[in-house]
Structure formats: structure tokens, C-alpha cells
Amino acid sequence: MKLTVWTYEGPPHVGAMRVATGMKGLHYVLHAPQGDTYADLLFTMIERRDHRPPVTYTTFEGRDLGEDTAGIFKKTCQGAYDRFRPQALIVGASCTAELIQDDPGGLAGAMDIPVPVVALELPSYQRKEIFGTDETFYQLVRHLAQPMKKTPEVTANLIGPLALGFRHRDDIQEVKGLLCEMGISINVVAPFDATPKDLTMLGQGHINILMYPEHAEAAARHMERTLGIPYTKTVPIGVGATHDFIAEVAGICGVVPKADLSRLRQPWWAKSVDSTYLTGKRVFLFGDATHVRTAARIARDEMGFDVVGLGCYNREFARSIRTLGKEFGIEALITDDYLDVEKAIEEAAPEMILGTQMERHIGKRLGIPCAVISAPVHVQDFPARYAPQMGWEGANVIFDTWVHPLVMGLEEHLLTMFREDFEFHDAAGPSHHGTPAPKPVGVAPAPVRAIGAVMVWRADAETELKKIPFFARGKARRNTEKFAANQGLQEVSIDTLYEARAHYAR
């Protein structure tokens, strides 16, 4: 038993729903109690889908439990097939139905349904949403994809994008563009907008572009093994990663690596002098492994940030993120406990958080700006405009998105110079945001115990610290305490503050 306030991932059957809802012509019959239909709103409200997810729930109740819940499942399954006439069905159980052990797969298999029925075994009490997406897509591919003759021209399958994904809709466009430059056309995109029939054609592709390892790695490995289709290991988020991706694809397909950089503005935007103030901004990264891995590289190599913390919530990728942490000289945080993440961020006192919807909450509470880089995300992260993360345009979008929450460069200088101005002061927050930044709660008042000991601030040092603008105060406090502790001091004076400042000067 584990106490959870907010969760990064839903249960695994929600992962299966994300695959089913991303596709067309597929229907999911879910053995689940009344109430589990809440999951529909994730798609219709958060993602603003204009149709119901293709899911029929048995919605059994207490009075059904002593009776024939298996009968209810069969009736529901037949009814769903008759009404929706899908090309294929997936069947499975939610957490409660798993306990009553009706075996939806067996029941549906014994029925006379004239289309492929794929049974899902998603252990609700061990696994989570991302396992559900990966396993569901793998099972669909395993049942539907066949070895077949390759297309005469070089074609690629884009695998991994699905419903409720962070910018999947636009990433597809962007990756298609990158491939098109090299003369590679598209065989199948899946699960996004694919039909079960499309999945049967996967085998004629020459290469699988594994866009999101979280959702399609099992399927990619399976296709490599059984269909002989190699898959890409580079996820093209960021300028460097996109260059690497192009080289990798060209290598696999035996084509000339080509790139049209005419729309890529990010490198100049990052190099132009206005961006100087971004130098060494301390950022904390948290999200799914793929987005954190790519964001870490962008943060360090393409924005000039200082990555002071990173981690992911999907344990399946823990090892690779721990390795990434070592590469950055920090210990990666692998947890799905929101409170642990909050604590780690509070201790690291970054100047910006790059995270998920949850970290947006944390940032709000701690008064730290936050940009979203990964699912889970909310309605505002499904923009009407084209806003990919991948490819050249993705790099542009990321630059804008990450800079937006920050106080602008010149403004930062003015705030430092005229911090006593009654109108133009740091508590007013970035001037291009309508509302004042929330007052930091918990950060400033509570001494940060970086080294474990309690550091006492003398009143004059505390006053001096307050003269440092809010966006730099957390860093200054932390550095000073670290410096003081290293010097064996128990108390911070004004001199300690400035000595620490000199020590850490860059």
C-alpha cells in the first residue's frame, strides 16, 4: 500500500485506451465497474477530442457481483461489435475486473466475432499507464503485422504517437518533413490515426522510426525480430539530436543525409546577445525518460543552462536515466511520488523547472517558473497552433517555450539595479505576464538544509539576501549555505554572503 496524492501515470488500462483512442476502426471492450468511464473525459476534455473514445465498458455494479458478470461482459462485447463494426477488438479488464477473474480474453475468444480479437493482460496492481500503452501496441502489432514484401521505394513507419501524447500530432508532421528531405516516404504511422488494417501493412516498411520509446519499444523490438525492420534509437528533439537522427536514418536506409535548415532559428536565438542572461540558469528536469533525456541535452548544449537536477517517473527507463544523471554529474531522481519530486526541487532551488503538469503545481507553490516538457499535461498543453517538439520547428518551439516563463534579460538587469522601486520590483514578477508571480512559499522562509545542518542567518545577512532579486535568491541562499558549511561556519554574515558570491562567480 502506498499513499499517493497526485499520480504521474494512470492505470495500465488507460494506456490501452490511449492506443485505442489514437487509432481508428479499433474498439476496446473493457470489463470495468461503473465509474471507470471517467477516463473518457481525459480525451474529450483535456485533448478536446470531438468523438467518444472507442471504448465500451461493462460498468457492472455491486448487485451484479454475485450473479453473472461474465455474462454481462459477453453481452457488452457482442453489443459493441454489432454497434460499432470495428476492424478489430481489444478486450481486457480494469483493476476491479481483474480481481473477479472473468477472463475477458477467453470469453471474447469463445464468441463468434468475425474480426481479430486481441486479449490484453495488463496487471493493474503492478504496472502503470506507460506499460499499458507499450504492451497494447505490441499485442496489436504481434497479432496483426505480417512479414511481407518491402515497398519498392524506401519507406518508414512512424511508431509511438498516440492519444493524449505531448505534441504527438505535430511531431508526426515534423518527422515526416525530415524524412521527406531525404526522399523517404511514409508507410504507416501508428497508433496515431492508424486502422487495424494499416497495422497489417507495417511489414512493408524499411525502417521503424521509434518516436516515443515509452509507447512503442516493445513493438519496435518485435518488428526487428520478426519482420526484420531496424528501428531508430535517436529521438529528434533538439538541434543536436535532430542532426544525429538524420545521420542515423540515412545510415540505416542507405540514403544521403540531407537537412533543410532554412526554418531553424533556435541556434541564432540562443547565440544572440539578448540570450546571454540564460547562461548558467539552474534548471531542474523531470518527466518521462525520453523527454528528460532530450531536454537535458538541449538545456546544457543548446541553451547554456546548468542542469542541477533530473529524473523520470517511469521506472522502466530508470537505468538509462541514472546513467544520464552520472553524465551530468548529478544523481538522477527516479520516483513516481510527487512529494519526493517537490522535496528534491525545493532542495535544489533551481531558477526554472522543466517538467510535467505536476511540476507546474510545484513551481507555483515554490514560486519557481516552470515550462512543460513531458506528459502528463493539461488542456493548455494541447494548443490549437502547430507546436511540435521534434525536428527544426520543434527546436524553435522549445526555445520560445522555455524562455517564456523567465524574466527577460534586460528586465533582470533593471530589477537588480532598481530593486527598491515601488512599482518595478521583483515581487511583481516578469513584466510580460499579466499576473504577479506567486510569492515564494516555503522556499525563502524555510532555511534550505543542503548539508543537513541548520545554518543560521544573521539579521543583516538576511536583509542583504532580500536585496537579491527573487529569481536569483534561491541560488544565492543555497550557494552561501553550501559555502558556509564547507568553511565549517554555523552562521551566515554579510561577509559570508559576499565571500560565497565571489567563490561561485562565473
Among the listed ranges 30-38, 319-327, 403-411, 421-429, the one in contact with other proteins (CB under 8 A) is 30-38
Considering only the stretches 96-104, 227-235, 315-323, 400-408, report the one whose residues sit in contact with other proteins under the rule CB under 8 A: 96-104
- In degrees and rounded to multiples of 5, residue 135 shows phi and psi of -65, -40
Q: Which is nearer to other proteins, 124 or 389 (CB)?
A: 124
Q: How many CB atoms lie within 10 A of CB 467?
A: 12
Cβ atoms < 10 Å from Cβ of 222 = 18
Rounded to a whole number of angstroms, the minimum distance from the CB of residue 14 to other proteins is 7
Q: Among 16, 18, 54, 56, which residue sits at the site for other proteins (rule: CB under 8 A)?
A: 56
Asked whether position 95 contacts other proteins by CB under 8 A, the answer is yes
Interface with other proteins includes 2 (CB under 8 A)?
Answer: yes
Q: How far is the CB of 308 from other proteins (least distance, A)?
A: 24
CB of residue 40 to other proteins, shortest distance in Å: 3
- Tell me whether residue 1 or residue 502 sits nearer to other proteins (CB atom): 1
- Grid coordinates in use for 379? 488542456
Look at residue 468 and give its three-state secondary structure.
coil
Q: How far is the CB of 296 from other proteins (least distance, A)?
A: 27
**Which residues in the 373-412 window bind other proteins by CB under 8 A?**
378-379
CA distance 23 to 161: 10
Instruction: Please give the backbone phi and psi of residue 131, each rounded to the nearest 5 degrees, phi first.
Output: -60, -40
Distance between CA atoms of 248 and 126, rounded to whole angstroms?
A: 35
274 counts as catalytic: yes
Q: Which position among 68, 260, 274, 400 bears the catalytic label?
A: 274
Which pairs with CB-CB distance under 8 Å and at least 24 residues apart come from 359-366? 359/284, 359/286, 359/287, 361/6, 362/338, 364/438, 365/438, 365/441, 365/442, 366/342, 366/440, 366/441, 366/442, 366/443
Structure-block grid coordinates of residue 460: 543583516
Q: Which member of 20, 22, 76, 118 binds other proteins (CB under 8 A)? A: 76
Q: Which stretch binds other proteins (CB under 8 A): 60-68, 178-186, 234-242, 291-299?
A: 60-68
Minimum distance from residue 314 beta carbon to other proteins (Å): 14
Integer Cα distance of 163 and 176 in angstroms: 18
Residues in the chain: 506
Nearer to other proteins, 59 or 416 (CB): 59
Is residue 40 a contact residue for other proteins (CB under 8 A)?
yes
CB 493 within 8 A of CB 460: yes
The distance of closest approach from Cβ of residue 468 to other proteins in the complex, given in angstroms and rounded to an integer, is: 28
List the x/- string, 341-360, binding to other proteins by CB under 8 A.
Answer: ----------------x---
Q: Of 95-103, 143-151, 345-353, 487-495, which segment contacts other proteins by CB under 8 A? A: 95-103
Only one of the segments 3-11, 239-247, 327-335, 457-465 lies at the binding site for other proteins (rule: CB under 8 A); that segment is 3-11
Q: How far is CA 175 from the centre of its chain?
A: 18
| Binding of residue 71 to other proteins (CB under 8 A) | no
Based on the shown chain and the rule CB under 8 A, indicate whether residue 45 belongs to the binding site for other proteins. Answer: yes
Residue placing its CB nearer to other proteins in the complex, 59 or 493: 59
DSSP one-letter code for 150:
P
Exposed / middle / buried, residue 194 (Cβ in 10 Å: 0-12, 13-18, 19+): buried
CA 271 to chain centre: 27
Task: Give yes or no for residue 65 binding other proteins (CB under 8 A).
Answer: yes
Contact by Cβ (8 Å): 334, 312: yes
Told to check if 78 binds other proteins by CB under 8 A, we report no
Question: Which one of 16, 158, 226, 361 is in contact with other proteins (CB under 8 A)?
Answer: 361
- Dihedral sign, CA of 339, 371, 406, 285? positive
Q: Which is nearer to other proteins, 21 or 155 (CB)?
A: 21
Which grid cell sits at 440? Answer: 515564494
Separation between Cα atoms, residue 416 and residue 420, nearest integer Å:
9
Name the site residues for other proteins (rule: CB under 8 A).
1-7, 9-11, 13-14, 33-42, 44-53, 56-62, 64-65, 76, 79, 83, 94-96, 99-100, 123-126, 128, 169, 357, 361, 364-365, 378-379
Positions marked active-site: 274
